[in-house]
Each structure stands twice: as C-alpha cells, then as structure tokens.
Amino acid sequence: MDYELSPRERAWRDEVRGFIAEHVDERLVDETRLRGNEGRGPEAQRFLDALRARGWDRIAFPVESGGLGKTAVEQWLFIDQIETAGAPMLPLTFTSVAPTILRIGTDQQRQEWLPRIQRGEVDFALGYSESEAGTDLASLRTRANLDGDHWVVNGQKMWNTMAHTATHNWLAVRTEPDAPKHKGISMIIVPMDAPGVSVQPIQVWPGLRTNAVFFDNVRVPRDYLMGERGLGFYYAAMALNFERLSIGSAGMARRIFDALVRDVRERVVDGQPLRENPWVRDRLARLRVELDAARLLALEVAIRLDKGEVPAAASSMAKACVSELAQRVADTGCEILGLDGQLHAEEPGAPVKGRLQWLYRLSPMLAFGGGTNEVQRDIIGFMGYGLPRK
C-alpha cells in the first residue's frame, strides 16, 4: 500500500488547512463541544455558511450533481482536517442522506430534495434503530401502510438523535409485512412537524440528548418513499457506508492528545515536572504510535475506495481502531492528569479545557455508533480472513 499523498492531494489538504486557519477559532471549537447535539449555534452556522460559499458542503456529491468530484482520499483529508481542528463536521444530511438520495431517488425526488438540502431548509435525523432493532436492524417494526396517495406511519423509533432539532426524519419502516424481513423495509421521509409525531428526550451519559420518537397515524405523501419499495434495508446500509468515511478519522483523538502533550510539558506535580516522569513519557509515546497507525488505517480505506474496491474489512478495522483509540487517549490522559483530569471546562484549574474528561464520557459512544465494534470484528473475521459468518 502506497500511503504517499499525490501533489493534487497535498494541494487540496493545504487548501483545507488554509480555510481552517481563516475560519476556525477557539470560540467555534468551544461552541461545538458545549452544544453537543443541541443543533447549530451561531459560530457553527457561520462556519457552515463559509463552507457553503465554497461549495464544500457538496463534497460528497459527484460533479454531474453539482458536487466537487473529490476522490475518497480527498474527502477523507477534508474530514480529518476538520476533526483535527475541532470544527463541526458537515451534518449527516450532506454526507450520508443526500448522497444516498442522489443514487436511489427518482429524478423528481432528486429535484425536490437536493436543492432544499443545499439551501439548508432540510435537516435530517436518522431513524433506523428501535428498542428491539439495533444491530439486527431488519427486525424493525415501525410500519407504513399505503392509504390512497399517502403512507400512514405507526410505531416508535429509539435513539433518534437530533429528532428534536431536525426538520425531517430519514426513517426506515416496514412496508411489505409478508416479505422476508430484510426485503420488507423502505426508506421514507417524515416531516417532524407532521401531525402525530411526538418526541421524548433521552439524556445519555456524556451530557448529550437523544430521543424516543412516536408515530401515531402520521400521513406522508406517497412520493416521500425514496427509491423502490422493499429496498430500504440496502439503502440504509448505503447511507451508513457514507457515514463511515467520517467515523474513520482519528483527528479528534489526535487534537486532544496534542493538547495533553502541551499540558504535560508545563505541568509540575509534587515538585516534579510531569515531562520527566518515565511512565508518562512511555504512555504518551505508545499513544503517538497508535495515532499514526490509526491514521494510515483510515487512509487505506479511502485509497482502496478510490481503486474501486469495497473495503469492508479495512473500514471495520479503521472504525474499531479509531473509536477504541479515542477511549485509550481519554483513559490515559485522565490517569496522567490525576484528579484534575476530572474537572469540567468551566471549573477553575481544569487542564486541557476539561477535554479529557469530556472525551472519557463521549468515547464509549464511538464504539457502538455506526455499528458496534463486536460486529466490526465479526466483519473483519469473515470478510478479511474468510472465517465462518456468525
């Protein structure tokens, strides 16, 4: 595998870095961390507007659809630079739902939804999971029945993050109850202000909000069902594949690791400079090696995608590696900083702006978001090594 960036890729990376130097500052980084998933704040909106002005919100779109025609490596470089800077990622509306609609939607659906997404009028929550359907998504029970020119949606989604700020839900529903379970699902768009939709908050450990969402005889126009009936399971998998390119960046862990190293250089504990402590130096060196290796693993996925491969095992490796590495950076950082590492950003004397304890609370989510790591390891086993499928 040749990991060397081409001159064109290096030029693109430098252009993105230049943009970040101009548009990302501490106020934006702090707002991004503090707001969690409570929607975009004013700084994030300014940042998104600047991205839009360059057409970079369409980075995942092909040229013929008004996109930039960027390769997978170029898309990954963009994501990695943004994550490393601590700026808000492009919403999944742009990087997961829109590219899926582009591929599966009818001409009319593309013409209706893509301009609205580009103008920022439509923001999606992703409604796949249910209480009894997470990893085994094909068991989902929320159903949609056709009644004249409308679908009538009934059921409940769990962990429907951003449903309280989104304008629409990208919803997996059962439309063919008699078909085998993988073939009975469709993807449908449900406006969040449609009568019969209700949202209940669920607070989770890192201080983030997600939601349970209920659908009680919600009527949706017939052509809000995207692509073909019964192919929704495959469409959801396609959207999740687009989502995974962004999960494979160790940029966030790298940024917090770099801040930790800066702190360690200056910190003195019991009269001893922390930078001279052999255990601390050893731990930091190990993490640095792992961060560099994770970067190459993620880059390999993009390189393979550009070669036309479907790098299932490599992308599962990158996802499992990056997410668990974030946990190790948080664990080790909190250990090095001792009790001070548990201070929140707003508490006096909090080292590294409280980011280690924040990552400690956030990072377990990365291990199951976008598919649990147990399942990723199963994929590595059967796709990478030809072991029997569980």
Ligand X SMILES: Cc1cc2nc3c(=O)[nH]c(=O)nc-3n(C[C@H](O)[C@H](O)[C@H](O)COP(=O)(O)OP(=O)(O)OC[C@H]3O[C@@H](n4cnc5c(N)ncnc54)[C@H](O)[C@@H]3O)c2cc1C
- The footprint of ligand X (CB under 6 A) covers 126-129, 134-135, 159-161, 204, 210, 365, 368-369, 372, 374-375, 378, 390
Which DSSP symbol is given to 386? Answer: -
Least Å distance, CB 184 to ligand X, is 18
276 versus 374: smaller Cβ distance to ligand X: 374
| Residue in the block written with tokens 């949609």 | 144
217 — alpha (psi -120 to 50), left (phi > 0) or beta?
left
Residue 120 burial (CB < 10 Å; 0-12/13-18/19+)?
middle
- Taking the complex as a whole, how short is the minimal distance between the CB of residue 246 and ligand X, in angstroms? 14
- In whole angstroms, the minimum distance from the beta carbon of 159 to ligand X comes to 3
3-state SS assignment for residue 105:
coil
Is residue 243 part of the annotated active site? The answer reads yes
Q: Report the alpha-carbon distance of residue 249 to residue 319 in Å, rounded.
A: 8
Q: Which of 331, 236, 239 is nearest to 290 (CA)?
A: 331
Give the SS3 label for residue 156.
Answer: strand
Helices (H), ranges, 224-372: 232-247, 251-266, 278-306, 312-337, 355-368
Which residue's CB atom is positioned nearest to ligand X?
Answer: 134
Half-sphere exposure (Cβ direction) of 212: Cα atoms closer than 13 Å = 9
Q: b/e for 3-25, b at 16 or more Cβ within 10 A? A: eeeeeebeebbeebeebbeebbe
In the set 243, 290, 300, 324, the catalytic residue is 243
Nearer to ligand X, 134 or 191 (CB): 134
Residue nearer to ligand X on the CB measure, 29 or 247: 247
Backbone conformation region of residue 382, classed left if phi is above 0, alpha if psi is from -120 to 50, else beta: alpha
Report in angstroms how near the CB of residue 6 gets to ligand X at its nearest: 35
Q: Nearer Cβ to ligand X, position 112 or 382? A: 382
Shortest separation between residue 204's beta carbon and ligand X, angstroms: 4
Which residue number, 119 or 389, has a Cβ lying nearer to ligand X?
Answer: 389
> Which residue number, 96 or 249, has a Cβ lying nearer to ligand X?
96
Report the alpha-carbon distance of residue 234 to residue 232 in Å, rounded.
Answer: 5
Tokens of 225: 């069902």
Least distance to ligand X from the beta carbon of 208, Å? 6
From first CA to last CA, the distance across the chain in angstroms is 30
Catalytic center residues: 243
